Structure 1
């Protein structure tokens, strides 16, 4: 059994872990990333070709300053890696004016003086003929929205971290975390022990198994992504078909412009079978895509209502839908960063900075009250 010494060990190099590695390495902090699969894998929550970036955040206006920093971070990562990590398309929020999506977006824009356009039905139909409004719907357009490519983002951040001096152990499943000599923390693998001054756990759906004494009330939800062929793909390109979120009677759902020049991806935001990440059913069944087929048929003229491919991913949810960032009292010198609750990918660069601050003993720029790791203690 070999022992490796490092300043920071990051468990999980997916959505958040890759960004944490990148931000630590930029500061010259020695870091080791531990990944049970391979960076950019399709076994968790950081795959599927596209993720939404948006600024008028209906979940809570408190997120908006972090989003502004995250937007700068995505552009910075693209410049450093030379990869098309971010494509700005603008974005649509559609639904009842008093609904969560439209009402929350308007509130966030009001609090932070964001620019939005409320489109009347005639203007909406003229600008976006491949979307069909329901009677009574309100449509809002925002400029600062677009598509993040998750696989490119994760592999690019890991590659950049390694260029700056970090190391990554792929195919390395963590068996346990325990106190080490002095104030260090020991992370046990099959044939190696990592002895670190600080450990950051960014393992998404696997967090409860790694930190059982933290007693975090996280649930894992099986989600379906589906790609529908376009009759005329030019009508669904990033220049004509922006990212969107819709609040419909059938549920809250979202979609993207075509990224492959052939198909359009959509998915339901809420609803899904609770699962275990190690026992996830990764086969997409016909009944899984039935709700998405109905949505395409009703709201997206120009798309075939039969998907040509589909995939399974996971949401790791907290009871209130907000993230968990902080130091569980049951663990010394361990920071947990995750529980994205289905909307966290877009924050990765700024959460990477926050985790780097915490690992280095610095005070983060942003308040973490909303994400307090102890808020579920009672």
Structure 2
């Protein structure tokens, strides 16, 4: 049986057969943005690929749903800026293939103290990788963005290659093109067991599937799915309050006047997007949240986040109402260093893990998908993966 969502056709597997006669080149577990990007990359290369998703699609239970994400080349770390060069090109290619807009270039603004470490690290990374940017010293910053009220010593970097990713449309594009290139997508297929071997077997309630290689992109369910492998990573699942703030003057914070933005904010980082997905409402969020379990996201008290953000918006965005007009939620799966794990599972050269994207993996997904696919094919990845190795964390007790 098939379900159709726009141009996306999802196979709902109602059989009880083990399907042991079918061996895929790669089986991808998890149809969030990273898993879908990996599946898209593999199918486009002609690999026989299966993508399994535990929930019926589309859904909002993980980290990849919603209308918007920020994309940018401005990063403090060189390796991300390097990856974003190619990721930006792939986003453009994906939207051409899909036939609808995925990336809207609005620019991106990194804000912080003039000559402070945060901005200087961004400048260094952008400069080393030949990316375009403009540095706005404090006076120029205030003149260009009069709707903002930051301290007089604040400056900014303008990244013209930044902008808005239309998250739901991007996910739909990945999955739709994956199927167009011959991939098979099955939702409502929760993987309950993974059996290692030269051919890996994955059990679901309705069927079992086999693949020469497996990519696991479990999102906030990482700890659960890794436990049977004896792998425990220091992952924390947190609930993010996605907050929208109404403009006092309609159109004053639109994409033509305000780009996407980020401020380090003394350990309480803030990110935002102009009035776009909800006309007249600006998206401004704290890049932190209370710890939670993946199955109980609505049982967590996040009042402190909203209270803190009320004060922030009141102080720095005088053109917005100082109470959120719309409140939604998202989930981050954080690592201690906020860099993901992209590596083989220990003692398994045909099982690859992508996890712990710490709330900034969506923009990187075109390159992450490529690298995960290369690892699954036994190839040398296009980028150095030292910052993402699984063994950078010491073995964890308490399995």
**TM-score bracket for the superposition, by shorter chain length:** over 0.9
Q: Deviations over 1:330-354 (max 9, x none)?
A: 4451100121012111110111111
Residue of structure 2 in register with 1:95 after alignment:
112
Residue of structure 2 in register with 1:41 after alignment:
59
How do residues 9-88 of structure 1 correspond to structure 2 at under 5 angstroms?
9-58=27-76, 60-88=77-105
Residue of structure 2 in register with 1:184 after alignment:
199
Residue of structure 1 in register with 2:139 after alignment:
122
Shift of 1:250: 7.8
SS in 2 for 1:42: coil
Q: Deviations over 1:39-65 (max 9, x none)?
A: 44211111232111111212x112212
Q: Deviations over 1:271-315 (max 9, x none)?
A: 321111112226786544221221111111221112221111111
In structure 1, distance between residues paired with 2:241 and 2:74 = 25
In structure 2, distance between residues paired with 1:300 and 1:124 = 14
Counterpart contact for 2:26–2:47, Cα < 8 Å: yes
Residue of structure 2 in register with 1:366 after alignment:
383
In structure 1, distance between residues paired with 2:45 and 2:297 = 37
Q: Which of 189, 207, 215 pairs up with 1:200? A: 215
Q: Deviations over 1:114-173 (max 9, x none)?
A: 333222333223321221221322222121111111111111110111111111111211
1:336 and 2:324 matched: no
In structure 2, distance between residues paired with 1:282 and 1:158 = 31
Counterpart contact for 1:284–1:310, Cα < 8 Å: no
Shift of 1:79: 0.7
Shift of 1:69: 0.5
Counterpart contact for 1:233–1:258, Cα < 8 Å: no
Shift of 1:248: 2.7
Mean CA deviation greater in 44-53 or 94-103: 94-103
In structure 2, distance between residues paired with 1:191 and 1:323 = 31
In structure 1, distance between residues paired with 2:394 and 2:201 = 25
Residue of structure 1 in register with 2:10 after alignment:
none
Q: Which of 316, 341, 351 pairs up with 1:324? A: 341
Mean CA deviation greater in 64-73 or 276-285: 276-285
Counterpart contact for 1:284–1:311, Cα < 8 Å: no
Shift of 1:25: 1.0
Shift of 1:194: 0.8
SS in 2 for 1:297: helix
Residue of structure 2 in register with 1:225 after alignment:
242
Q: Deviations over 1:12-68 (max 9, x none)?
A: 00110111111111011111111112344211111232111111212x112212110
Counterpart contact for 2:44–2:181, Cα < 8 Å: yes
Q: Which of 204, 209, 217 pairs up with 2:224? A: 209
Q: Deviations over 1:64-85 (max 9, x none)?
A: 1211010001111111112211
Shift of 1:87: 0.7
In structure 1, distance between residues paired with 2:232 and 2:263 = 34
SS in 1 for 2:142: helix
CA gap of 1:332–1:363, structure 2 versus 1, over 3 A, is closer
Structure 1, unpaired ranges of 5+: none
In structure 1, distance between residues paired with 2:115 and 2:338 = 20
In structure 2, distance between residues paired with 1:233 and 1:161 = 40
Shift of 1:111: 2.5
In structure 2, distance between residues paired with 1:100 and 1:51 = 25
SS in 1 for 2:214: strand
SS in 2 for 1:374: helix
In structure 2, distance between residues paired with 1:70 and 1:127 = 29
1:293 and 2:307 matched: no
* Structure 2 length-normalised TM: 0.89
Aligned pairs, how many? Answer: 374
Counterpart contact for 2:114–2:137, Cα < 8 Å: no
Counterpart contact for 2:374–2:380, Cα < 8 Å: yes
Structure 2, unpaired ranges of 5+: 1-15
Shift of 1:238: 1.5
SS in 1 for 2:168: helix
